[in-house]
Amino acid sequence: MGLATGNQTYKRVAQSLGHDGKAGPHDYTAIHHDQDRALPENCSSRSEDYLQILARATNDAIRDWDVISGTLTWPQGLESLLGYARAAQDSGLEFWQKLLHSADRARVAANIQDTFASGAERWSGEYRLRRADGEYLLVLERAFITRDATGRPTRLVGSLMDITARKQLQDQLCRSQKMEAFGQLAAGVAHDFNNFLTTILGYSDLVLCESGLKGTIASHVAEIRSAAGRASALTGQLLAFSRRQALEPHVIEVNSLVQNMERSLLRLLGENITVVCHLHREKSGAHIKVDAGQLTQIILNLSVNSRDAMQGGGRLTLETAVVSLPDNEEDSSGMEAPPAGEYVVIRVVDTGMGMSDEVKAHLFEPFFTTKSEASGSGLGLATSYGIVRQSGGRIRVQSKIGQGTNVEIFLPRFPAPASRYKRPADRKLPVGTESILVLEDDISVRHMSVRILRSLGYQVIEAANGDDAQRLFSANAKQKIDLLLTDMVMPQMSGRFFADWLRKESPETKVVFVSGYLSESLHPGDRVENGMFFLPKPFDPEQLAKTVRQALDS
């Protein structure tokens, strides 16, 4: 500990931190009753008793450091706060020094040195001290410094308060605020991005439907449309994250999910960890019915655990396979064996430090974690276990100390779904002749929606904001408005506000709300109530046509 930089006082301090044995706990009382004067030599026994009771009530430790003689004593709290018996201490610097966390020593030394040199009477600092059981406490020390006539520091008496729990709560609050801010950012980005995707999906279908394209050009447009569909799934995951709610399960091909994650894993795990994928080669694919966003999160959680177990680097292997499990299969891992049947298996294998049998026995218990509280809540694996069980699957873990960990996720195999996409020309969209008011502030989405609805036979009036829509309605008071198609979130006047106004003027008008946000994530005043219709962005012509027809026919 470098307390002796360029100063004789600090050379002596670096050799010993202790107490001269002449003063007692009454000195601490004097500090707090009159910190503008030097510590008195004597104090009544009544004050001394009061100090001891007060110090014990706070459970703070007190250290009394005589800077001149270089001795250090602990009048109070050595045993109650840190767990050391009084006989365990010595009178020099070494005892306190060895309790300080190695990462804090230089900082604390420099801080005290600067305070001594500044002539200040008070010093405070936060640092970690090792308890007798080996755990570290974060303490806040607040001290008073006495000086001689020349201003040289002669004594420092400080109280040490355990602030470990308070610091943990502060850290948890900061993490929570960061996640909340990120959730709001994710929702905002997804909302704006969904407007672009709605335009791409809509006009791609219009090109394929109206132009009768065939051959290479039609194939290229279909690829654009397919890419927009995949991007739509991504924005759905962002919205699900922002509102912390589950997505609906769908039948997906497991290899496509793992391949889409590979690049993200490389960025997440770092350069010292190699990611290897061994994927199944089933010609018909290996399909599972899961929430893709939840399964992705499970694999990410397992991968992060593997990264933490490979501090010096290593290899993470992702495998997919199809297996048939017989009845009453014995599971050597001690986990509950999946029922007989055909399963798709996802394996996450690392070359890390492995786990003991005791850790494996508690692995999926809520709040159980081998990490510090600042690094994990202990809910990741418990949540993963519940999600897999709800999907009809099982998780099996095999691990030994020094031999890495192998986590296997068994999910029931499902038949491949029908073709995901058919050209709009192959489908007959529902038509109508009713009058529709389209209220949408995004010009591309508005023009695309109007074009589709007019092509289906509807009479369409369009407006870019609530004020324009009110003027149009008033100007065409004799024309009946059968349906309002309105964006929910708009500047100045929200779609919900205009819809409430319109339904008072025209109670028979049906309403379809459109938004790039999920319905549940909207402001409570904008939520869709029972009997109302909601069309999430991005949408394609078929979804628009069916939702409008359903609302009109209700």
Here the tokens at position 242 are: 């922002």
A 10 A CB-CB count for 290 gives: 28
Residue 382 and residue 378: Cα distance in Å, rounded?
Answer: 7
Give dist(CA 313, CA 273) in Å, integer. Answer: 5
Q: State how far the Cα of 424 lies from the Cα of 541, in Å rounded to an integer.
A: 8
CATH fold, domain 249-423, is Heat Shock Protein 90 (3.30.565)
- Orientation angle between helical segments 292-309 and 215-243, nearest 10 degrees: 70
DSSP state of 329: -
Regions of the chain short of the pLDDT cut 70:
1-52, 54-55, 86-93, 172, 175-176, 178-180, 182-183, 186-187, 210-212, 233-234, 236-248, 263, 327-337, 362, 364-380, 382-383, 419-427, 517-531
Q: What is the maximal distance between C-alpha atoms in the chain?
A: 103
DSSP string, 325-362: E-TT---TTSSPPPPSEEEEEEEEEE-S----HHHHHT
* Per-residue model confidence (pLDDT) at position 484: 92
Distance CA 276, CA 315 (A): 7
Report the pLDDT value the prediction gives residue 16, as an integer from 0 to 100. 37
Q: List, in sequence order, the alpha helices (H) in 314-420.
A: 357-361, 380-390
Contact 453, 551 (CB under 8 A): no
Provide the 10 A C-beta neighbour count for residue 307.
Answer: 20
Helix (H, G, I), strand (E, B) or coil at 180: helix
Q: Tokens 């408005």 map to which residue?
A: 481
Closest CA to 18 of 61, 76, 64, 52: 64
Q: What length is written for the chain?
A: 554
- The pLDDT score that the predictor gives to residue 139 is 94
Element (H, E) at 189: helix 164-210
Cis peptide leading into 326, omega within 30 of 0?
no
Supply 133's token pair.
């059981």
Distance, in Å, from the CA atom of 45 to the CA atom of 541, rounded to the nearest integer, reads 89
- Written out in words, the top-level CATH class of the domain with range 424-553 is alpha beta
Bridge partners of 346? 320, 409
* Nearest one of 441, 487, 547, 541 to 200, comparing CA atoms: 541
Cα–Cα distance, 257 to 411 (Å, whole number): 14
Asked if residue 335 lies in contact with residue 294, where contact means CB atoms within 8 angstroms, the answer is no
Rounded Cα distance, 82 and 84, in Å:
6
Supply 366's token pair: 């809520």
Tell me how far apart the terminal alpha carbons of the chain are, to the nearest angstrom: 79
Distance CA 369, CA 352 (A): 17
In this structure, CATH architecture of domain 8-162: 2-Layer Sandwich (3.30)
Tokens coding 476 = 């065409």
Distances (CA, A) of 283 to 92, 255, 341: 75, 12, 20
In this structure, which amino acid lies at residue 436?
I
Tell me the C-alpha distance between 549 and 223, whole Å. 29
Which pLDDT value is given to residue 96?
A: 83
Q: Residue 516 in contact with residue 192, Cβ under 8 Å?
A: yes
H or E element in which residue 38 lies: none
pTM, two decimals, is 0.43
What's the one-letter identity of residue 149? A
Six token digits for residue 329:
């299969």
Strands (E) across 109-212 are located at: 122-130, 136-147, 153-162
Measured CA to CA, the distance from residue 173 to residue 315 in angstroms comes to 34
Nearest to 13 by CA among 156, 151, 150, 195: 156
- The label of the residue with tokens 């074009």 reads 451
Note the pLDDT of residue 55. 65
Picking from 74, 97, 59, the residue whose alpha carbon sits closest to that of residue 19 is 74
Instruction: List the chain domain ranges.
Output: 8-162, 249-423, 424-553
Tell me the helix, strand and coil percentages in the chain, rounded to 5: 45, 20, 35
- The tokens for 520 are 């549940």
Residue 121's closest CA among 140, 100, 107, 142? 142
Cα(190)–Cα(236) distance, rounded to whole angstroms? 8
Summarised one tens digit per residue, pLDDT across range 234-274 is 676 566 555 444 456 889 999 988 887 776 777 778 778 88
CA distance 233 to 332: 38
Can you spell out the DSSP letters for 265-322? Answer: HHHHH-TTEEEEEE----TT--EEEE-HHHHHHHHHHHHHHHHHH-TT-EEEEEEEEE
Cα separations in angstroms, 533 against 456, 473, 487, 536, 549? 20, 21, 12, 10, 11
